[in-house]
Structure 1
Amino acid sequence: MRTLCASTLIGEFFVIGFAGLVAMQLSDVPTATVWTVSGIAMLLSIVLCGMLTRPGGVQLGWALQIALIASGFVIPAMFFLGAVFAALWWASVHFGRKIDEAKARWAETEAPAAG
């Protein structure tokens, strides 16, 4: 699960950065505010990559997805991009857990054969 979720978060890092550039040009929000919010969100996306296996890591990822969708109130295109990344996040968590379960089952069947 960690690899899929981390890949999604890295993609979000870049999208948030580009959205900050767009917001700086197209919105009435002060530049300092745009970069403070964007910077915190970008930092959170990177920090979450290391927190995915810890309690609350996935839930913080969901909070980031909600914030990304809510950024659509500043840049309307972010409603769409936020929804796309929320779907990617769901898929990463859902299928990542299935992959982890399959790896664990495979390890259980291979362990007796190796010993």
Structure 2
Amino acid sequence: MNYLFEVTPGKRRLCASVLGMEAIVVALTIPVAITINDVPVPLAVTVGIGLAVLCVVVTGMLKRPYAYIAGSVIQILAIATGFLVPAMFFLGLIFALLWITAIFVAHRVEGATKR
């Protein structure tokens, strides 16, 4: 269980990829929220840009173990954006699964290459 907080180059790369793609998807929810779901513009922009910027900031902090906790919180927030854009319940869940997979796969792959 200690490997969850162990920072390795492979883990950083995989998790950064997930957060980078997630930032794009979350930012693209802004026009959907405004035009299709009639979410007020200030709310849609604040949530969309705020979460996208948070993804980018945490991506830059992935050298530190606590950034993986912050990344996990981002996954919860991404799922919660489903209240503005219902499709984000599904997409947020997909990104959360990718996040978890990135952490565990990186550990397994790097553990196998150390042998």
TM-score under structure 1 normalisation? 0.83
Partner residue of 1:5 out of 5, 10, 15 = 15
Pairing 1:80-95 to 2, within 5 Å after superposition: 80-95=90-105
CA distance in 2, matches of 1:102, 1:31: 49
- Aligned residue for 1:58, secondary structure, equals helix
**Aligned partner of 1:61 among 50, 71, 75:** 71
1:49 aligns with 2:59: yes
Secondary structure at 2:63 match in 1: coil
Q: Once superposed, what is the RMSD of the aligned Cα atoms?
A: 1.4
Greater mean deviation of Cα atoms: 94-103 or 83-92: 94-103
Which entry has the higher C-alpha Rg, 1 or 2?
1
Which one of the candidate residues 33, 42, 45 is aligned to 1:23?
A: 33
Structure 1: unaligned runs, 5 residues or longer: 107-115
Taking every aligned residue pair, what percent have the same amino acid on both sides?
39
Gaps of 5+ in 2: 1-10
Q: Kindly tell me the number of residue pairs found equivalent between the two proteins.
A: 105
**1:98 Cα deviation (Å)?**
2.3
Provide, for residues 21-54 of structure 1, a one-character-per-residue CA deviation record: whole Å limited to 9, x for no partner: 1001123332012111111111111111111121
